[in-house]
Amino acid sequence: VGEGGEITYKKIQSSQIMGSIQLGIQHAIGGLASKPERDLLMQDFMTVETTNFPSEGSNHTPAHHYSEFKFKTYAPIAFRYFRDLFGIQPDDFLMSMCSAPLRELSNPGASGSIFYLTNDDEFIIKTVQHKEGEFLQKLLPGYYLNLDQNPRTLLPKFFGLYCYQCNSKNVRLVAMNNILPSSVKLHQKYDLKGSTYKRKASKSERVKNSPTYKDLDFMEHHAEGIFLEADTYTALIKTMQRDCRVLESFKIMDYSLLVGIHNLDEAQREKTDARKRNDSHSDDEDGDKKGLNRTRSINRQRLVAHSTAMESIQAESEPIDEEEDVPPGGIPARNARGERLLLFIGIIDILQSYRLRKKLEHTWKSMIHDGDTVSVHRPSFYAQRFLDFMAKTVFKKIPSSLKHSPSKRK
């Protein structure tokens, strides 16, 4: 946060970054239309296109009221191919990214990155460090070899890499799929790594409106874990094993499983409570409007193909009750009390390779704490511990006693 309370990144106002990158992306997508579709070539991964955006406009760029800037688009043809792989039409991508103002996420990580969410909830744009941007560029060909073979994955899907340059400052940005729906209340949110060292949400995090909890908090809140149908459990763990093998092959570590939990039974109770409160008051117009907006976004099909949590793990289940207005694709589950849950999950923050990683003091400490002194094996150690934690502590096969609990749907 900069002077005057405005959010800034590298001393540039966030609103200026948002507006400028929308102009940049619009121009980049527009420019692609003239380039015919063709097979990808290796050099497509290396190309960078740079465009100047003077405030007064130019032959190919519109006038604008932001500071003059340069916009770089990395590997435009390659990313077009990846968007196509996930069924994203150029017009739809343009509409998502540019037709409405972006929303800034108020709950970012510790690294100081800024996150923007597109208005339709489909994409997240994250600012990344120079090293992370470079790493993604190098990773691209191999990463997409894997995604092309197996698009059913919980791994992040990258749809663009850009650099906004203004006053000799560089802001690098990646566009990726959004994992957490904002149209539905997430009663709990976890960022899980399978480590216990310092893996507790800070005090300042816990007082937030929708805090992101960590491993130790999860073990406290869900001492018995979260229960899935046997088939769903198997599909989930298989997908994570496959994904971790890919990450390990690139020596990637420090990634997390992001888990958003919508508790259907709790939502029901909240609804009933709200109704009771409303009976004693006059009509709540504001609430009504919100309700309308919500249903509209919920009934939309997802733009990015096979990328809901259920599609990612290639699982199917009976649809949940029609009267519940929840977005599609959450993984049905139960907590130890037998309450019905919907999980929205994905793997995030994979752009830190072991080789590129800063040797922060806490890293060494945690290395010793975790008993992992053979550093060459760290990525494989990380993957194994991650998988173990997910398969044994976080997710469990549903025991038959829970299956027949009274709150099971009719």
Q: Is 349 in the site for Ca ion (CB under 5 A)?
A: yes
Residue type (1 letter), 282: S
How far apart (Å, rounded) are the C-alpha atoms in residues 395 and 221?
Answer: 13
Span of 177-185, 213-221, 242-250, 369-377 interacting with ligand ATP by CB under 6 A: 177-185
Instruction: Indicate which of Ca ion, ligand ATP, none lies near residue 178 (CB less than 5 to 8 Å, by partner kind).
Output: ligand ATP
The three-class DSSP label of residue 384 is helix
Closest CA to 125 of 76, 50, 178: 178
Q: Is 215 in the site for Ca ion (CB under 5 A)?
A: no
Query: In 5-68, which ranges are E strands?
Result: 8-9, 12-13, 48-53
How does DSSP assign 80-138, residue by residue?
Answer: HHHHHHTT--HHHHHHHHHSS--EE-S---TT---EEE-TTS-EEEEEE-HHHHHHHHH
Q: Are strands 226-228 and 395-397 parallel, antiparallel or unpaired?
A: parallel
User: Cα–Cα distances in Å, from 156 out to 123, 178, 192, 208, 226?
Assistant: 11, 9, 15, 26, 23
Instruction: Indicate which of ligand ATP, Ca ion, none lies near residue 107 (CB less than 5 to 8 Å, by partner kind).
Output: ligand ATP
Nearer of residues 248 and 349 to Ca ion, judged by Cβ: 349
Q: Is 110 in the site for ligand ATP (CB under 6 A)?
A: yes
Residue at shortest CB range from Ca ion: 349
Q: Is 122 in the site for ligand ATP (CB under 6 A)?
A: no
How far apart (Å, rounded) are the C-alpha atoms in residues 243 and 250?
Answer: 11
User: Of 135-174, which residues contact ligand ATP (CB under 6 A)?
Assistant: none
Residue pair 80/56 in contact (Cβ under 8 Å)? The answer is: no
Closest CA to 327 of 108, 175, 122: 122
> C-beta of 176: minimal distance to ligand ATP in Å?
5
Q: Is 191 in the site for ligand ATP (CB under 6 A)?
A: yes
Nearer of residues 20 and 212 to Ca ion, judged by Cβ: 212
Nearer of residues 113 and 380 to ligand ATP, judged by Cβ: 113
How far apart (Å, rounded) are the C-alpha atoms in residues 174 and 159?
Answer: 7
> C-beta of 242: minimal distance to Ca ion in Å?
21
Span of 3-11, 45-53, 109-117, 297-305 interacting with ligand ATP by CB under 6 A: 109-117
Residue type (1 letter), 97: M
Single out the residue of 176, 201, 244, 247 in contact with ligand ATP (rule: CB under 6 A): 176
Q: Is 347 in the site for ligand ATP (CB under 6 A)?
A: no
> C-beta of 56: minimal distance to ligand ATP in Å?
36
Give 35's Cβ-side CA count (13 Å radius).
15
| Contact pattern for Ca ion over residues 100 through 129, marking x by CB under 5 A | -----------x------------------
Q: Which residues lie closer than 8 Å to 78 by C-beta, 6 or more apart?
A: 40, 44, 45, 140, 144
Span of 75-83, 105-113, 306-314, 333-341 interacting with ligand ATP by CB under 6 A: 105-113
Where does this chain bind ligand ATP (CB under 6 A)?
A: 107-111, 113, 115, 124, 176, 178-180, 191, 212, 256, 258, 346, 348-349
Where does this chain bind Ca ion (CB under 5 A)?
A: 111, 349
